[in-house]
Amino acid sequence: MDACPSPEGDDSGFEEDFQSPSPSNFFTIPWSVNLNNRLIADHHEVIYDESCFIIQKNNEEEFLALNCLARQPQITAEARCKLVSWLIAVYKHFKLSFESCCLAVNIMDRFLVTTSVAADCFQLLGVTSLLIATKHVEVCSPRIKQLLSLCCNAFSKEQLCNLECLILLRLNFRLAAPTLAFFLDYLVSQELSWHRVGGKDDNFTDLYEVKNDDDWTATEEDQLSRVEKYKYFACKICELSLADYAFNKYQPSVIVQSAIILAKDHFRKPASFKHTSSSEMADLLCTADHNSINYSLIQQCTEDLRLLVSLNLESLQDLKAL
Amino acid sequence: MVEGEDDSGMNKMKNFKRRFSLSVPRTETIEENEFTEQINQLNLRRNEGKGTLNQTSLISLSQPISPSQAEPGQLASEPQARSPTQLQYHNRVQQRRFSMEDVSKQMSLPMDIRLPPEILKKLQMQSPEPCKPLSRMSRRASLSDIGFGKLETYVKLGKLGEGTYATVFKGRSKLTENLVALKEIRLEHEEGAPCTAIREVSLLKNLKHANIVTLHDIIHTDRCLTLVFEYLDSDLKQYLDNCRNIMSMSNVKVFMFQLLRGLAGELKLADFGLARAKSVPTKTYSNEVVTLWYRPPDVLLGSTEYSTPIDMWGVGCILYEMATGRPLFPGSTVKEELHLIFRLMGTPTEETCPGITANEEFRSYLFPQYRAQALINHVPRLDTEGIDLLTTLLLYDTRKRISAEASLRHAYFLSLGEDIHSIPDTASVFSLKDIQLQKDPGHRSSVFHPPGRGKNRRQSVF
C-alpha cells in the first residue's frame, strides 16, 4: 500500500478531482494477493469479493457520522435508540435485508450531522431514510403509503417526498456507505470458504478457531450450522449496536469483528472456553493498515458490546435455545 | 466528518480515500461570509412556495404531533434495545438552539464536479498568488460563481430521447462551449424520487474512466434533477444503424478494446457500492423486462452470484453483434434465450459446464443434445484471433471464461501496438497517434469524421 503516491496539497478534496485516480493500484497490493492464494476453486469470485471488501473498508471513514447528535437541539440518544429499535422492527416487518436497515441508520445519522431536526419530525426522518436505503439496495421498496401508515399517518406523503429530496441533496447523493451487513456477510463467507477448502495454510492462520480445538474433526455440516448460529447471533449483536449511540463512533468493520468475537465466545464449549484473542481478529483485516490502533479499537468495542449484550439479555432470549 | 490526525496510518487511509472518492460529502461548517450569503440565497430559493419542511431553521412540522399519535414503537414487537450509556445521556441533554445562520452554514454545494482545463487555467490566472493553492472555500465559491450547479449555464438544443423517468436533451455549456447531454430526471413520482435516479447518481459519483460516460455536473431545480454528461455522438446501436450494420473490422477491434478497458480491473460492482446486491432480477423495480440477449447461461439458470465473468459473456455477444451486424442470441424468454445459446454453443455437459447435470432448472427444460457449431461459419469476417477471443468469452464454465484484464492482452489486440497498454485510465485510446477509426464500409455519409479527435473530447461507444 506504500506504493500509492500521496497527493500533496491541502485537504480540500478538490484538486484530486483533476487527477486521475487509479483504483487499479488497489488490486495489486501484496496482502490481497496473499489472501487470494487460499482459494483455487473460486478464484474469480475471491478476487472479486475481496476487491469489494478492500473498497468498502477504505470507504468506511468517509461515511462515518461521528457525533451526529452533538449539535442537535432536540434529538437525544434515547430518542435515537427508540427510533432505531422501531426501524429494526419495521425492516423485519417488510422482510427487507439487514443491509437496508444498516444503510437507513447511516443515512439518518449523516443527515443529522448536516441538519437540525425537530423531535416531532424524527420518525419521519427515520422512515424516509429507510425508503431511500431500500431504493438503493432492494429490488422492491415498500410503498410510501405503507410506511406512512406505520407512523399512524402522522405525516403526509408530501412531507415525506420533500424530506427525501432534502436528504438526497444534503448527502450529495452519496449513498454507497459500507455497512455492518456487508462486513458480516463478507467475514462469515470468508470463513465458510475457508472451511470448504478444509485445510490450514501457513500464510493464513484461521483466525476464528482456537487452534487444537476438536472442532476441526467435526463434519462439514456441523461447521456450517455452527457458522450459521454464530452469524445469527453476531447479527443480533450488530442490530443492538445500531440502536445504541455509543457505537456510532466505531467503524462498521470494527463492530462486526467484535460481534463475531463475542458470538464465538458464546457458542464455545464451556470446557474449552476461552476468549478469542482480539489480536488474532485484528490481524485479519489490518495487516495493511494501522495495526495497533485497530487492535485496541476492537478490544474496546468488544468490551462495549459485551456490556450491551448483558444489558439486553431478554431480547436475546430466543438465542439461548440455540 | 473526521479529519485525520497527523499519524501516518490516517494519512494512508486518506490517500486511499482520495483515490476512491471523487466526492466527499462536505459537511464542515462554512466560514466565509460571502459564501454564507450565497447559500442563504439558495436556501431562500428552495423554500419559496413549497415544502412543509422548514429548512432554514429546524426541520419541523408546523403542527406538533402528540406523542401518543406517532410514537415510535408501534411495531415494537421486540423489546427496545437498552443502552449501557443511557444514564449518561440524561445529563448530557442540552437544549441548544441554533440560529438560522448556523444551520444554513451547514449546507454545501455539490463538490464532485470536474472543472474543464480551460476553467482551471482561468482560475489559476485569477488567483493573486499563483504558487499558493486556492483554499477550499475560495475554490468552492469560484465554482459556483462561474456557473457550476446552475441551470442557466447550459443551453438546451434539442431533445435526444425520453424515458419513463427522464428526458435527455442535447445541450451546450456556456462555460466551455462543449456539447453536453442534459438528463432531466423528474423527482416527483408516485413513490418519490425514482430508485433508478438515486442509484445512477450515487454510482456515477464514484466513477471516472475514459470509457465510462462522465458526469460533469448535477443541478437541482425545484422538483427536477438535471445530470450533465459529456455529449456522445451516438451509442453502439445508433452507430451500427448508421453504418447499416457493416462496421469496419478494424473499428470493431478498437471498440472492443475500449469496452474491455472500461470493464477491466477497476470497474467492479463494488465501485458502485453494490457489492452485496447480488441478485440479478429478470424484471426491474418498475416491472419492465430486462433484455436477456446478453445474459450468460449461468444467470439464466438461476445463478445469483454476481461476479465479473457475467459481464464477459455479454462482451462476447457484443463482439459478435459488431462483427455481423445482428444480435447473437435475441431470445425473448429465458427458455428461448437458453435454446438459442445451446443450439449454437452446444448443450452444456458436465465436461463443458461442471455441475450442470445437478442443476434442477436445467434438467427441467429437457433441452435436446445439440453439438457445438464452428463459430467461424457464423462470423466469417472475424479473423482467427478474433474467433479465439469470442470462443473464450462464450465459455459456459465461469472459471474458464476469460477476464477483462486477460482479454486486453489477447492476441486479437496485438495489432493495436504495445503502447495502448500504458495509457492512463482517464485518457482515451485515441490519444495514441496510431489508433484511428476507419471509414465503415456501410456508412451513410460520404466522409466519415471520426469523433473524439478533439483535444478534450473523449470517445466512448457506450
Say what the pLDDT of residue B57 is.
Answer: 46
Cβ contact B111–A13 (<8 Å): yes
Q: Which residue among A152, A170, A188 closes a domain? A: A170
What's the whole-number average pLDDT of chain A?
75
User: Who among B268, B273, B427 is closest to A176 (CB)?
Assistant: B273
Say what the pLDDT of residue A76 is.
Answer: 94
* Lowest mean pLDDT, pick from A82-86, B59-63, B410-414: B59-63
Cβ contact B187–A165 (<8 Å): yes
pLDDT digits (tens, 9 = 90+) for B300-333: 887 766 667 777 898 899 899 889 988 899 988 8
Cβ contact A56–B270 (<8 Å): yes
Q: What percent of chain A has pLDDT over 70?
A: 66
* Lowest mean pLDDT, pick from A42-56, A209-223, A300-314: A209-223
User: Who among A48, A82, A175 is closest to B80 (CB)?
Assistant: A82
* Segments making up each domain of chain B, as ranges: 153-230, 236-431
- Whether A156 and A188 map to the same domain: the answer is no
* Residue A194, min C-alpha distance to chain B (Å): 18
Q: Tell me which residue range forms the domain holding A119.
A: 77-170
- Whether A266 and A203 map to the same domain: the answer is yes
Cβ contact A21–B19 (<8 Å): yes
Residue A214 maps to a domain = yes
Could you say which residues from 59 to 88 on chain A have a Cβ atom under 8 Å away from some Cβ of chain B? 59, 61-62, 64, 66, 71, 73-74, 76-78, 81-86, 88
* Lowest mean pLDDT, pick from B114-123, B143-152, B173-182: B114-123
Structure ipTM: 0.70
Asked if the model's pLDDT at residue B71 lies above 80, the reply is: no
Chain B CA closest to residue A315: B79
- Give me the CATH topology for the region B236-431: Transferase(Phosphotransferase); domain 1 (1.10.510)
Cβ contact A17–B98 (<8 Å): no
Say what the pLDDT of residue B260 is.
Answer: 86
Domain CATH number, residue A243: 1.10.472
Counting the structural domains of chain A, the total is 2
Name the most confidently modeled range: A56-60, B231-235, B244-248, B370-374: B370-374
Q: Which residue among A140, A170, A200 closes a domain? A: A170
Say if residue B14 carries a ligand binding annotation.
Answer: no
Q: Which residue among A122, A143, A170 closes a domain? A: A170
Asked if the model's pLDDT at residue B361 lies above 70, the reply is: yes
- Whether A268 and A145 map to the same domain: the answer is no
Say what the pLDDT of residue B218 is.
Answer: 82
Q: What percent of chain A has pLDDT over 90?
A: 43
What's the whole-number average pLDDT of chain B?
66
CB pairs under 8 A between A and B: 356
User: Which residues in chain A are contacts of B198 at CB distance < 8 A?
Assistant: 132, 135-136, 168, 173, 175
User: Which residues in chain B are contacts of A86 at CB distance < 8 A?
Assistant: 72-76
Say what the pLDDT of residue B58 is.
Answer: 58
Say what the pLDDT of residue A291 is.
Answer: 57
Largest CA distance in chain B: 80
Asked if the model's pLDDT at residue B152 lies above 50, the reply is: yes
pLDDT digits (tens, 9 = 90+) for A77-90: 999 999 999 999 99
pLDDT digits (tens, 9 = 90+) for A87-101: 999 999 999 999 999
User: Which residues in chain B are contacts of A23 at CB distance < 8 A?
Assistant: 19-20, 265-266, 271
* Residue B191, min C-alpha distance to chain A (Å): 6
Structure confidence at residue B162 as a pLDDT band (50, 70, 90): confident
Residue A217 maps to a domain = yes
Between residues B61 and A232, which one has the greater pLDDT?
Answer: A232
- Whether A198 and A264 map to the same domain: the answer is yes
Say what the pLDDT of residue B223 is.
Answer: 74
Cβ contact A59–B17 (<8 Å): yes
Say what the pLDDT of residue A45 is.
Answer: 53
Cβ contact B52–A13 (<8 Å): no
Q: In three state form, how does the secondary structure of chain B look?
A: CCCCCCCHHHHHHHHHHHHHCCCCCCCCCCCCHHHHHHHHHHHHHHHCCCCCCCCCCCECCCCCCCCCCCCCCCCCCCCCCCCCCHHHHHHHCCCCCCCHHHHHHCCCCCCCCCCCHHHHHHHHHHCCCCCCCCCHHHHHHHHHHCCCCCHHHEEEEEEEEECCCEEEEEEEECCCCCEEEEEEEECCCCCCCCHHHHHHHHHHCCCCCCCCCCEEEEEEECCEEEEEEECCCCCHHHHHHHCCCCCCHHHHHHHHHHHHHHHCCCCCHHHHCCCCCCCCCCECCCCCECCCCCCCHHHHCCCCCCCCHHHHHHHHHHHHHHHHCCCCCCCCCHHHHHHHHHHHHCCCCCCCCCCHHHCHHHHHHCCCCCCCCCHHHCCCCCCHHHHHHHHHHCCCCCCCCCCHHHHHCCHHHHHHCCHHHCCCCCCCHHHCCCCCCCCCCCCCCCCCCCCCCCCCCCCCCC
Looking up cell 447523493 gives A173
Cβ contact B23–A113 (<8 Å): no
Question: What 3-state class would DSSP assign to A201?
Answer: strand
Between residues B375 and B57, which one has the greater pLDDT?
Answer: B375
Name the most confidently modeled range: A157-161, B72-76, B445-449: A157-161
Q: Could you tell me which of A181, A73, A65, A180 has the C-alpha nearest to residue A122?
A: A73
pLDDT digits (tens, 9 = 90+) for B327-358: 899 988 889 999 999 999 999 999 999 989 99
- Whether A156 and A233 map to the same domain: the answer is no
Average pLDDT in the A23-44 region? 35
pLDDT digits (tens, 9 = 90+) for B426-450: 777 777 777 777 777 776 653 444 4
Chain A CA closest to residue B272: A176
- Whether A203 and A308 map to the same domain: the answer is yes
- Whether A132 and A210 map to the same domain: the answer is no
Domain CATH number, residue A131: 1.10.472.10
User: Who among B15, B187, B206 is closest to A176 (CB)?
Assistant: B206
Per the DSSP assignment, residues forming a β-bridge with A201 are A204
- DSSP state string for A22-39: -GGGGGG-HHHHHHHTT-
Query: Could you count the other beta carbons within 10 Å of the beta carbon of residue A15?
Result: 17
Chain A CA closest to residue B115: A18
Cβ contact B205–A48 (<8 Å): no
In this structure, are residues A71 and A115 in contact, taking their beta carbons and an 8 Å threshold?
no
Cβ contact B24–A13 (<8 Å): yes
Say what the pLDDT of residue B84 is.
Answer: 45
Residue A175 maps to a domain = no
User: Which residues in chain B are contacts of A136 at CB distance < 8 A?
Assistant: 195, 198-199, 202, 273
Non-local (6+) Cβ contacts of B121 within 8 A are none
Query: Which one of A12, A80, A244 makes the best mutation probe of the B interface by having the most chain B beta carbons within 10 Å?
Result: A12
CA distance A125 to A104: 10
Structure confidence at residue B396 as a pLDDT band (50, 70, 90): very high
Say what the pLDDT of residue B222 is.
Answer: 67
List, in sequence order, the alpha helices (H) in chain A.
30-36, 43-63, 77-93, 98-114, 122-137, 144-150, 157-170, 180-197, 220-243, 252-267, 278-286, 291-311, 317-320
The CATH class given to the B153-230 domain equals: alpha beta
Residue A28 maps to a domain = no
- Which amino acid belongs to residue B81? A
Name the most confidently modeled range: A280-284, B3-7, B276-280, B334-338: B334-338
Query: Which one of B39, B83, B107, B198 makes the best mutation probe of the A interface by having the most chain A beta carbons within 10 Å?
Result: B83
Question: What 3-state class would DSSP assign to A194?
Answer: helix
Question: What 3-state class would DSSP assign to A89?
Answer: helix
pLDDT digits (tens, 9 = 90+) for B254-266: 888 988 887 765 5
CA distance B303 to A309: 37
Q: Do the domains at B153-230 and B236-431 have one common CATH topology?
A: no
User: Who among B22, B51, B97 is closest to A162 (CB)?
Assistant: B51
In this structure, are residues A240 and A315 in contact, taking their beta carbons and an 8 Å threshold?
yes
Could you say which residues from 217 to 256 on chain A have a Cβ atom under 8 Å away from some Cβ of chain B? 239-240, 243-246
The DSSP call for residue A16 is: G
Residue A265 maps to a domain = yes
Cβ contact B2–A61 (<8 Å): yes
CA distance B425 to A318: 53
CA distance A265 to B232: 57
Could you say which residues from 255 to 284 on chain A have a Cβ atom under 8 Å away from some Cβ of chain B? none
Query: Which one of B92, B93, B431 makes the best mutation probe of the A interface by having the most chain A beta carbons within 10 Å?
Result: B93
